[in-house]
Structure 1
Amino acid sequence: MRFLVCGSLLLAISGFFNAADAATLQVGVGKKYLSPSIAAKYTRDGDIVEIDAGVYPKDVALWKHNNLTLRGVGGMAHMQADGASVAGKGIWLIKGNNITIENIEFSGARVRDRNGSGVRAEGTGLTIRNCYFHDNQNGILTGSNKNSDIVVENSEFANNGAGDGKTHNMYIGAVRSFTLKYSYSHHSRIGHTVKTRAQTNYILYNRITDEYDGNSSYNIDISNGGIAYVIGNLVQQGQISENSGIISYGAEGLKYDANEFYLVNNTVVNDRPQGGAFVFVKPGTNPARIVNNLFIGRGVINAAGAEQSNNVRGDKNELISPLAYDYHLRLKAEALNAGIEPGTANGFSLQPTEQYVHKAGSEPRPVAGKIDVGAYEHE
């Protein structure tokens, strides 16, 4: 018995000292570590790596330890790869678990197989906040991992893609869950602006747009079904989009046991002159609910069997400034007070509680009588 107690105490003490040994590594000019790639060689589980704002040309890194926090300080730290990569995969290759990345800019990921990523995630669990991914062949690319949860918040993605339709602003593999909140994804190069194969998806309060000159494919591609909550987003297809579809669910087959689609209180604008499909939902999805959405422009909804309730086909004149992609409602818009309470699904509230603020931010959604249709509540 004494041995068991001592053994347990030893394990507890060992765990305590492991936590206490976690260090803060400082990176930058005049700091102990000149670049992130050098610091990466000295990290241990639980460390914090603070990277001074500035440009780190051709600096690429492998992060193999767990529970790391990697963040820019004093502004964004720019990993400007200019074609450099780790193992032919990307700028940062993440092999550790439970990694948090904050205030980092990633650009210039290019590799021979045209799949170079700002962040290539091969561990379990990744959180990205306040980061900027641009001009890479993929912004983020994750592997398949049924135990992994990927969270992206308050981040911007622009001009990612190799131009082959197979690379995207973000490409989330078959993970347990994917959460995208308060983010701005735009101008994907022919690929999708958001692409995910996750089992459960929370796409909440984002701006996902082609704008005037973007030529992306789908704005949102939930490739293999699963459970998807798409709530409170601004989604706009540009006039030269490569694909007639805007939001697609299950186009590559329903691969999960539960396939449920909830499209609630989004504003979806189609600027493509020849029109297209606002929404495609793969037959067999149950339930599929399309509720309180504002659809503007030419387009159809391909969702046989879906519940479609309190959606409004509006006009750009009902928006404050459509040319500036400000989709707040004007005073006499048809969408005012036209919604219903959307209820819950699987214990998750479908009621929008926030709304997108540009750039890559959010604010509480006002409560002003009956709910408005679309991503914004008129005050």
Structure 2
Amino acid sequence: MTRRRELLTAAALLPWGAHAGPVLHVGPARAVKSLAAAAQQARDGTLIEVDAGDYMADAAAWPQQDLTLRAVGGRVRLIAAGAHTQGKGLFVTTGRRQRIEGFDFIGATVPDRNGAGIRLEAGSLTLVGCSFRDNENGVLTANDDSIELDVVDCDFGPILPREGKTHNVYVGSIKRLAVTGSYFHHGLHGHLLKSRAALNHILYNRLSDEIGGRASYELEFPNGGVAIVMGNLIMQSSTTENSHVISFGVEGARWPRQRLVLVHNTLVDQKASGGIWLRVTPAQTEVMLANNLLVGSPKLAADGYWTRKANFSADWDEFVRAARDDFRLAPGSPLRGKAQDMGEAEGLRLSASREYRHPHTSVALSGPARHPGAFQT
């Protein structure tokens, strides 16, 4: 079972092989010139190869199963220019096993001010190497406990200035969320990443509101569930709109299991008056905090029923160049080599096997993680 779960988690990191189904080519010089037209022609199992370039006001709904949309020859930039589909966003997806690679979603707005680059309404979706900029929301999902979402090497931010609680990613009450190698930044009012999913794997990402960002939480699981948060740089800006960095379960436990595992992360607080690292309810939540580095003035909660091991407060000068967001431990830091083995949880080894690499990817480590924090090399 452990090996199977490791393989499933790694599957989204791998490129797909040869495609056996129909292929549809889209571009200004092609017979099919728009994504909206492609959405009408595509069948289950279609690979849609889209020539790089700007596609203006080209919104579409995708109900097909086993569908792949792939940018060819560079980036595919979808610029909303006021267009949307179903009053929800640039793309609305409802098919199982869909995959989108190399697309930029820009400027999605809708009349109710809750527009998204992608609205995932049903099915399952994998995003690889996509970016979301100047949207009211980056990705927004429905509440459906059969939905699954995988996000690999994507970029979310900045959020378009709007009234209301817009989020870089807002995941509803779905079955599973996995996010790897992605960058969340420059939020506004809402959260960088908010998930109500039953199972969450948040691995090897950077969630940092950046200078001028005004996000609320950097990471929130409002209905709890099971959350494995490993290998992330999570950084609260000085202009945050909420003193808490990570929040779990504060809107009530929806799922039967409540567990938060926070390991091998580097948590940075830039708030002058000091923030709060972690807020957890209900009291029976199982919490593990291990091998984390804490940079800034807040203290980590000391609830007696939590498992806490090898968490260290670190001064700014412990790192190679923290002023430039280089949070690798300096060669002479006494914190090097102090990570402890935490075994596994939910079928995953709790020792980092990759690390985030800016601007939005992750790379495999050559050996076991030895240092606390998100960065080993």
1:261 matches 2:260:
yes
Corresponding residue for residue 222 of structure 1: 221
Match of 2:322 in 1: 322
The equivalent residue for 2:245 is: 246
What is the rounded CA distance, in whole Å, between the counterparts of 2:26 and 2:62 in structure 1? 15
The residue that corresponds to 1:92 in the other structure is 91
Q: Tell me the SS of whatever aligns to 2:156.
A: strand
Q: Which amino acid aligns with 2:126?
A: T
CA distance in 2, matches of 1:237, 1:35: 40
Where does structure 1 lack aligned partners over 5 or more consecutive residues?
A: 1-18
The DSSP-based 3-state class of the residue aligned with 2:37 is: helix
Structure 1 residue 323 displacement after superposition = 2.4
Does residue 1:352 correspond to 2:352, yes or no? Answer: yes
Matched, 1:34 2:42: no
The reply to whether residue 51 of structure 1 matches residue 46 of structure 2 is: no
| Matching residue's letter, 1:151 | D
Distance 1:216 1:163 in 2: 13
Q: Which amino acid in the other structure matches residue 96 of structure 1?
A: G
User: In structure 2, how many angstroms separate the alpha carbons of the residues matched to 1:318 and 1:190?
Assistant: 32
1:183 aligns with 2:182: yes
Alignment-mate amino acid for residue 203 of structure 1: I
1:200 and 1:241 map into 2 onto residues whose CA distance is 27
The verdict on how the C-alpha distance between 1:289 and 1:24 changes in structure 2, with shifts beyond 3 A counting, is same
Match of 1:9 in 2: none
TM norm structure 1: 0.91
Contact 2:223 2:254 in 1 (8 A): yes
1:107-152, CA deviations, whole angstroms, 9 ceiling, x for partnerless residues?
Answer: 1111111110000011211110000001000100011121121100
**1:126 and 2:106 are equivalent in the alignment:** no
Distance verdict in 2 for CA 1:221–1:152, change over 3 Å = same
Cα distance in structure 2, aligned partners of 1:244 and 1:110: 29
* CA-CA distance at 1:103 after TM superposition: 0.5
Quote the RMSD (CA, aligned, Å): 1.6
Partners of 1:254 and 1:161 in 2: CA distance: 31
Cα deviation 1:71-109 (Å, max 9, x = unaligned): 111111011002211011000111222211110000111
% of aligned pairs identical?
Answer: 36
- Over residues 158-200 of structure 1, what are the superposed CA-to-partner deviations in whole Å (9 max), with x where a residue is unaligned? 1125544522000111111100000111111121001100000
**In 2 relative to 1, CA 177–133 (structure 1 residues): closer, same or farther, beyond 3 Å?**
same
Number of the residue aligned with 2:310:
310
Q: Gaps spanning 5+ residues in structure 2: where?
A: 1-18
Q: Which residue of 1 aligns with 2:151?
A: 152
Q: Distance in 1 between matches of 2:375 and 2:246?
A: 19
Q: Specify the alignment match of 2:79 in structure 1.
A: 80
Match of 2:6 in 1: none
Higher relative contact order (CA 8 A, sep 6+): 2
Q: Is the 8 A contact 2:276 2:298 kept in 1?
A: yes
Tell me the SS of whatever aligns to 2:30. coil
The SS at the match of 1:179 is strand
Number of aligned residue pairs? 358
What does residue 3 of structure 1 align with?
Answer: none
**1:216 CA drift (Å):** 0.8
Letter in 2 for 1:337: G
Is the CA contact (8 Å cut-off) linking 1:280 and 1:303 kept in structure 2? Answer: no
Contact 1:225 1:254 in 2 (8 A): yes
Are the equivalent residues in 1 in contact too, given 2:113–2:162 (CA < 8 A)?
Answer: no
SS in 2 for 1:147: coil
